[in-house]
Each structure stands twice: as structure tokens, then as C-alpha cells.
Amino acid sequence: MATLEQLQRALVNADAAGDAEGAAILAREIESMQGPQDQKILTAAEPSAYERSYVGQIGSGLNEGLANILGFPIDAANNFLVAPALWGINQAFGTDYQPSSEPLGGSAGLAKGLEIYAPTEDAGQQVARRVSRAVGAASVPVAYGARTAGELAAGLGTALAGGAGGAATEQISPNNPSAADAVEMVVGALAGGGIGAASSRSAQKAQMASIPSVQQLKEQAGALYRKAESSGVMADPQMTSDLAGQIKKIARDNELITPKGRVSTAYPRAAESMNLLDDYAGFEMNPTQMQIVRETLADAVMSTEGKERRIAAQMLRTFDDFTAPLAPELDQARALYQRAMKGQKLEQLEELGDAKSSQFSASGRENAVRRQYSGLDQKIVKGQEVGWSPSEIKAIQDVGRGTTAQNAMRNIGRIAPTGPVSGATTFGIPFMVGNAMAGPSLGAAMGAGMSGAGYGARGLASAMQQRNIEIAKALARNGGTIPYAQNEGVINAIAAALGSQGANANEVQR
């Protein structure tokens, strides 16, 4: 037969687990065992110092979370399958069958087998208990699916953040458990999204770092030219004569050469390229010489504008069409050079923006670089720039036009004080409002908060733009794609943690 102390301990556990029916039975047994000198019905035994400690409350929260998540499948079946079925039977036959308040394998039954103490009145311990409950519920699904310590940390971090949000809401509104559960889910989702995004960006950043630089692409192309030369590839005199003739036709069609044969001085870089190819006409040309000619043509394309650039680009395409069939390595080298040229073009736009940033007072570099990319965007739209892939065009637009999120941050950043007038508006008006409401302390806080929001938004907009610049350059250097391996394990761990929070929020109301 159980002793009075054992029954009192069982009553504590029943109260903590929310088992009202079991607690009532235990209370009656305890009452029957008490002497006549004390007829008071105890509702709980006097808790020990350990039970009232942070360690005891945190342990109780962990155990409660474990019971909730392990018993969730049975609880869900009891609530959403058994209960509706019994209700239908009662309606049809006039019976009064009720679902079990403690189904076998459910959270209430599991809680009885764990050390769970009644909550204390200490606010700090209540917060710690709620957070540990969220972590305890997440520990099972996250530990089952996590393959690395990082994935485990991501899942438990999501649960911890959600639990903290729920605990804070519980303290603010202690009689509104639904609100606390809702906040726990929302904060957990936001934290999980942030962790997932950070993990994805980290993986993407690491892989973007593996994309060759402009100089490395040129070196790789040069190695292919040398490989072709070592295999004996050579353009014979007839081939170089035909090539020079094609280049001269481009020059005549674009009035670079007058009817009398005079070369116009209006387009010096295009004329230089034409003359270089004309010098090779009737002579053999090896891959090393081909590389030199191609670099000259590419430089002409990169350093000119308007009609001269279009002439140089036509010459370059003709030269590439001439060399590609000679050896596979030369075609591969052409592709590498094209990627290098695109990457170099975008790097130059950024450098020009840096050089002109002093012309913009408040926005500085952000507006200067944006204007450079906007110019390229307009040329692509007008058909003056060709050869860019859809993903590269989109990345250029993201910098030149700004993304929705970046533009929103730019607009908020306009409130940042940059001088006496804007300072008076951004800081002064909120200060006066706050001062009128509750004195100078609130006024100063409101003014500082408004100013800080402006500076923070501006900094975030600049950071978002720089990330878009890096993506555009990486896309150009990598042929229009970025190797992107999302950290699926982290995402799964976060999903498991959010699922456990849902189980906690929807646990059976015992």
C-alpha cells in the first residue's frame, strides 16, 4: 500500500501533467489517510527546494516537451479521430461515451512516468521552463533527422527562439495561452527562416568563392591555346587570307574603309584590329598568335562604345568562328574568354561607380554603382548589348533597378538625418511628440529610434546591393549559373523543430 508521502508525490505529478481526474482521486485518498486533527484536503505536497529551483523547472520543461512530442500522435488520433467518432455515436444512439483523458501512449500518460514538477510563481523560472519545454519537444525529431552538429544546432535554435517568444507572451498575457502558442510558432518560423537563409547564404558564398576570377579564366584560356599549339594546330596561309578578307568586308560595310581604301580615323581601336589581322594574311598563324589577336579584338570591344564597339564585336565573332573548328581547345578557350569579358565588364562598372561616388551626397556609392548598372541595363533593352543570358540580365537589373526589398530599405533610409534640416525632421519631431507624451526621456528614445531606423535601413540597402553585385559578377564569370547547394539538412532540422512547436501548441487540453 502506498504511503502518504508517495501519494502526495503522485498528486504533484498529476497536477503538473494536467490530469484533473487522477488528481481528484489522489486527493481523496490523501484525505482519507490524514488524521482527524487535520481535515484539510491537500491539492499538492509541499514542493522541495530542488523542485523550486531553476534546474528542477528546466528539467520539468524538458520532460514535459518530450512527453508532448512523443505522445502527440496518440493525442492527435484521440482528439481528431476518436472524439468525433464517439460524438457521432452519442448523437445517433443517445449514449454518453467520452474519449479517454489519458489514452495509452498519449502525452498525459507519458508525463506520469517522467519527473515533472508543478510550475512555480517565479517569472524567470516560468520563462526557463517554457523555453526548455520547446527545446525538449524539438529534441526528438531534430536529433533523429540531423546529420551534423550544425543541423542539430539549427533545429534546437529554432525551438529555443520560439520558446522564448512564447514565454515572453505568457508573461505579458498570462491568461491567454493561445496567444503564447501562436507567438511561439511565429517567432520560431521567423528564427528558422533566418537560420535557413543564413545557412543557404553561407553555402552559396562558399561555392561562389570557387568560381574562377577574370584573371583565372584568362589563364585557363591561355593554357588551352598552348595545348592546341603543342598538338600542332595551325592556320595555313590561305585560311589567314580568307579571314583577313572577311574582316575587311566588315570594315567596308561599316564605312571603316572608304571607297578609295582609306582607313577612317574615327574608330582607331577597330582599325587597329583590322590592320593586325591584315598583317597575318597569307602567313601561317599558330594558337599563340591567335590568342594575341583575340585579346586585341576583345580589348577593342571592352574599351569602345557605340558604333565602334559594334564593329569590333562583329570582328571578334568572325575571328572566333574562324578559330573554333581548328581544335576543340580553341572553342573551349573562346567560351572562357567570353565569360572573362563579361565579368571584367561588370567589375569595371563597379569601379566606375566607386570613382564617381563622391558626386552623390547622401547615397554615395550605392547610387553611383546603381547608375552604372542601369546604363548597361538600358543598352541591353535597346539591343546595343547582346550575349547576356536571362539570368545575367536579371542580376544586372537587380543592381540597376534594385529589388523590391532593397528599394523598400532605400526609402526607409531616406529618414536618416544627414544635415540640419533632415536632422530636425527625423530626430526633432519624434522628440517633441515623445516629450509631450511622457517627458524628455521618451522623446530622446523616439528620436534616436527613428534616426537609428533610417541609418539601419540605409546600411541594409547597401549590403543587399553589394550582394546583388557579387551575384551578377559570379553569374557572368560562371556562364550564367551559380553552383548552389542548399543545406537541405538544416532546412529539414528547422522544419522538424517547427513541427514540434506545432505539436506543443496543439497538445491535448487535459
Integer Cα distance of 378 and 397 in angstroms: 9
pLDDT at 427: 60
Tens of pLDDT, residues 304-338:
888 888 899 899 999 999 998 999 999 899 899 88
pLDDT at 224: 92
Q: Report the percent of the chain where pLDDT is more than 90.
A: 18
pLDDT at 237: 93
For residue 37, pLDDT over 50 is answered with no
Integer Cα distance of 450 and 417 in angstroms: 9
CB-count exposure of residue 101 (10 Å: 0-12, 13-18, 19+):
middle
Q: Which one is predicted more confidently, 423 or 255?
A: 255
**What are all long-range contacts of 144-151, with beta carbons under 8 Å and residues at least 24 apart?**
144/496, 145/489, 145/492, 145/493, 145/496, 146/489, 146/493, 147/489, 148/489, 150/199, 150/487, 150/489, 150/490, 151/487, 151/489, 151/490, 151/492, 151/493
CA angle, residues 316, 322, 328, in degrees to nearest 5: 110
pLDDT, mean of residues 100-106: 82
Torsion of CA 99, 100, 105, 109, to 10 degrees: 150
> DSSP letter string over 50-61?
TTTSHHHHHHHH
Confidence grade of residue 102 (pLDDT, cut at 50, 70, 90): confident
pLDDT, mean of residues 395-400: 92
C-alpha cell at 9: 508525490
C-alpha cell at 196: 535557413
Q: Do residues 227 and 290 make contact, with C-beta atoms less than 8 angstroms apart? A: no
For residue 136, pLDDT over 60 is answered with yes
Integer Cα distance of 215 and 347 in angstroms: 12
For residue 96, pLDDT over 80 is answered with yes
Predicted TM-score (pTM) of the model is 0.55
Please tell me the number of Cα atoms within 13 Å of 31 on its side-chain side.
11
Alpha helices, DSSP H, located in 211-305: 214-230, 237-253, 268-280, 287-303
Tens of pLDDT, residues 168-183:
888 888 888 878 888 8
For residue 46, pLDDT over 70 is answered with no
For residue 130, pLDDT over 60 is answered with yes
Q: Do residues 347 and 228 make contact, with C-beta atoms less than 8 angstroms apart? A: no
Q: Rounded to whole angstroms, what are the CA distances from 99 to 77, 92, 419?
A: 10, 16, 69
Q: Do residues 65 and 132 make contact, with C-beta atoms less than 8 angstroms apart? A: yes
For residue 22, pLDDT over 80 is answered with no
pLDDT at 20: 72
Integer Cα distance of 203 and 485 in angstroms: 7
Integer Cα distance of 196 and 485 in angstroms: 13
For residue 456, pLDDT over 80 is answered with no
What's the gap between Cα 167 and its chain centre? 27
For residue 54, pLDDT over 70 is answered with yes
Q: Which one is predicted more confidently, 45 or 113?
A: 113
Integer Cα distance of 241 and 252 in angstroms: 16
Q: Which one is predicted more confidently, 491 or 379?
A: 379
Integer Cα distance of 8 and 29 in angstroms: 10
Q: Which one is predicted more confidently, 43 or 386?
A: 386
Q: Do residues 379 and 396 make contact, with C-beta atoms less than 8 angstroms apart? A: no
CB-based contacts of 182: which residues, under 8 Å, 6+ apart?
505
pLDDT at 390: 92
C-alpha cell at 402: 534594385
Maximum pairwise Cα distance, the chain: 131
Q: Which one is predicted more confidently, 340 or 201?
A: 340
Mean residue pLDDT of the chain comes to: 80
For residue 17, pLDDT over 70 is answered with no
For residue 393, pLDDT over 90 is answered with yes
Of 2-6, 207-211, 262-266, where does mean pLDDT reach its minimum?
A: 2-6
pLDDT, mean of residues 390-405: 90
For residue 49, pLDDT over 90 is answered with no
pLDDT at 239: 94
Integer Cα distance of 462 and 122 in angstroms: 45
Integer Cα distance of 369 and 466 in angstroms: 10
CB atoms within 10 A of CB 195: 23
**CA gyration radius, the chain:** 37
Q: Which one is predicted more confidently, 232 or 421?
A: 232
Length, in residues, of the chain: 510
pLDDT at 44: 45
